[in-house]
Amino acid sequence: MDTVFLVCAILGATLLACEIVAGMLGFGHDHDMDTGGDADADHGDGHGHGNSLFGMLTVRTVTAAVLFFGLGGLTARYYGLEETSAFGLALGAGALALYLVGTARIDRAVGTTGTVYLRVPGARGGSGKVHLMLQNRTVECLAVTAGDELPTGRPIKVVAVVNSDTVEVEAA
């Protein structure tokens, strides 16, 4: 089991180093795996948004989970924990890293720009959807606007956070 922990730690550290170098060379945006889930807010409302497992799966989150699984297991074994306990601790460390790295915080969306995905009715007459770059990844949020209707494809800017899954936008 120690070998598994060591391989995971080395693999995770190597992938993290590659991500850092790629970011320095301009290849820096994390791309979500096409798993059918959305990831956009720090909540779980059962509507396919937020912290669904599949919505959090990105190269960055999987790398963090593998790295911390390995490091957690190695640390536990170093301090003398049995293999079963060390494995449990390693799973917990990997899951925590996956969650922390994979959760986008919508409260940080104000000022970000994006694109209308589904038209946003004007004068707060309903909600549409927008795609934003938030924490180096594309997320989908519900959106309202106080101005004129925003058609699909229109560049937007977030002016306020309405609630845990909705932002107020204006034309950019």
What does the pLDDT look like over 143-166, one tens digit per residue?
Answer: 999 999 999 999 999 999 998 789
Contact 126, 168 (CB under 8 A): no
Strands 113-118 and 128-133: antiparallel
One domain for residues 7 and 64? yes
Residues 29 and 78 in one domain: yes
Angle between helices 59-78 and 83-102 (to 10 degrees): 150
Same domain, 110 and 92: no
Q: Are residues 96 and 111 in the same domain?
A: no
Give per-residue pLDDT as tens, 132-145. Answer: 988 777 888 899 99
- Whether residue 41 is found in the same domain as residue 90: yes
CATH code (residue 120):
2.40.50.140
Its domain, for residue 14, covers 2-102
Residues 49 and 89 in one domain: yes
What percentage of the chain carries pLDDT values higher than 90?
A: 56
Q: How many domains does the chain have?
A: 2
Contact between 52 and 39 under an 8 Å Cβ cutoff? The reply is yes
Which among 80, 102, 124 is the end of a domain? 102
Between CA 112 and CA 79 the distance in angstroms is: 45
Residues 76 and 126 in one domain: no
One domain for residues 55 and 138: no
